[in-house]
Copies of this chain bind each other. A is one copy, B any other.
Amino acid sequence: MTIREARPEDWEAIWPFFRRIVAAGETYAYDRDMSEPEGRRMWMVGPPGRTVVAIDGAGSVAGSANMYANRGGPGAHVASASFMVDPDRAGQGVGRALGEHVIDWAGESGFRAIQFNAVVETNEAAVALWRSLGFEVLASVPEAFDHPRHGYVGLLIMHRFV
């Protein structure tokens, strides 16, 4: 697994699994019928943020992450990030490789911490991955996510210093 900067032309490979994940409505508080241009605008963030892709041994895009300051001004020393792994590549370490990359980036970029604002509590694989990478749950915002199968579930705020 190689992580590299996303190029504009990578969006063509990201969009199919991005659309699938967003349309499923189980892990992201994004409009489930988000258009392709809106998805591109949201995901392919420009500097000082970054978007990266995870490339498998065959040269295919297996996942993507973006990263940015979570807030401005006096809050700009805390980073945040979002992750999308092709569901067909689940369990192959793609999310972990992207997560480790983001932690390294945050440290090298001078951020003091990373905060995830909205991890769906029923997304057990993600919660377990972030815990294993040193993130703690600060709070669950009760009933903040309307899950298509589980109903109203909590959104976790997760955090680690870097």
Contact = CB atoms under 8 A, between A and B. Distances in A.
On chain A, which size bracket covers the interface?
A: 35 or more
A125 to B, nearest CB: 18
Contacts of A157: 138-139, 141, 157
Interface in A8-64: 22, 25, 28-32, 34
A127 interface: no
Nearest to A69: B29
A133 interface: no
Nearest to A33: B73
A139 to B, nearest CB: 3
A113 B71 CA distance: 22
A75 interface: yes
Interface of A: 22, 25, 28-32, 34, 70-78, 112-113, 115, 117-118, 138-148, 152, 155, 157, 159
